Homo-oligomer: A and B are copies of this chain.
């Protein structure tokens, strides 16, 4: 490869460590601000430190490699800017868990649960659940504030930041809009595959993969040249990523997903997997879905009956086929793209990692 430096197989792992370091330093820098308000703020920051121990750091990775693939040089500035997306994701997770009433995240109690437990252990007055919800809403809000704060503290030139802003802004609005669509789909319960795919597009495909790549490219000053190529790779890959998430939400091993078995089924999530199963279900199978999907008390027997329907209708096989096809599309698009090495190789690896993962 005379035209590019060879890519180290440690590149992806190395970036994760650098992102982690930026997170730690940033949260450390907020300690004095919070302590200025009161020592009681400690538990909020602790909860965030714990939550941010985990995570695949996918959005920072796509932003960083989006920059590199557009010809940007490595530097702490772009790693810092990319890490801002991890704070944004932290808000999305914390608020999502409140909205879904999820108890577990990354193998730990979700933030609202954690603060409800704190309330109970301290024997405070009023509702522990209400206190936990309030703390989680506020911590998520702080993460949103910190997202653009960290982006702007990245050290990237003002001109680069100004170029990146429209992408950054549209990404944020699209995520919240996509999450509202998701709420709405659960409420309407219409459950067509087409409608479920629209939620996937905004809530995951654009937000997780395409927009971070776009952000990296625009920060690097090569948005117009790279936008289409990154969409051609990012949208199918982001969709496949979410389909994998949907499969893991039903069939995943709690030890690897960090969430209880059958979590999505208990929450009644209208994923594409469920929509496909329903579209193909016979009367008896549809009855099983109606009875168990969204039952807050759903146990092992209900989970296993729902899994059976999803397998027997062919919905699982269809999802796996679709994931393969989309991942193939993403890789083919990458192949024909102007993306520079070493980003090209890493993005190919990330495509596999994001869709073949077990947690």
Interface residues of A (CB under 8 A from B): 30, 33-34, 36-38, 40-41, 44, 91, 95, 98-99, 101, 119, 122, 124-126, 130-131, 133-135, 137-142, 144-146, 148-149, 152, 158-159, 162, 165, 169-170, 172-174, 176-181, 183-184, 186-189, 198, 202, 268, 294
Contacts and interface: CB of A to CB of B under 8 A. Distances in A.
A101 B130 contact: yes
B126 A294 contact: yes
Contact of A41 (B37, B125, B177): B177
5 contacts: A41-B177, A95-B141, A134-B183, A142-B173, A145-B176
A44 B148 CA distance: 23
A40 B199 CA distance: 12
A107 to B, nearest CB: 24
* Count of this chain's copies in the oligomeric assembly: 2
A58 B102 CA distance: 38
A243 B95 CA distance: 31
A184 to B, nearest CB: 6
Contacts of A133: 98-99
A134 B36 CA distance: 32
A125 B180 contact: no
B131 A181 contact: no
A172 to B, nearest CB: 4
A137 B91 contact: no
Nearest to A142: B176
A295 B119 CA distance: 19
A279 B165 CA distance: 52
A149 B137 contact: no
Given A38-B181, A180-B135, A124 B187 contact: yes
B130 A99 contact: yes
A180 B36 CA distance: 14
Contacts of A142: 172-173, 176-177
Most B CB atoms within 10 A — which of A44, A126, A177? A177
Given A119-B187, A180-B44, A181-B37, A137 B173 contact: no
B33 A170 contact: yes
B124 A189 contact: yes
A202 B33 CA distance: 12
Contacts of A181: 37-38, 40-41
Contact of A198 (B38, B131, B149, B294): B38
A179 B268 contact: no
B95 A137 contact: yes
A297 B40 CA distance: 31
Contacts of A159: 158
A141 B174 contact: no
A160 B181 CA distance: 38
A184 B95 contact: no
B137 A98 contact: yes
A227 B165 CA distance: 29
A250 to B, nearest CB: 19
Nearest to A294: B126
Give the one of A98, A131, A173 with max B CB within 10 A.
A173
A131 to B, nearest CB: 5
A132 to B, nearest CB: 10
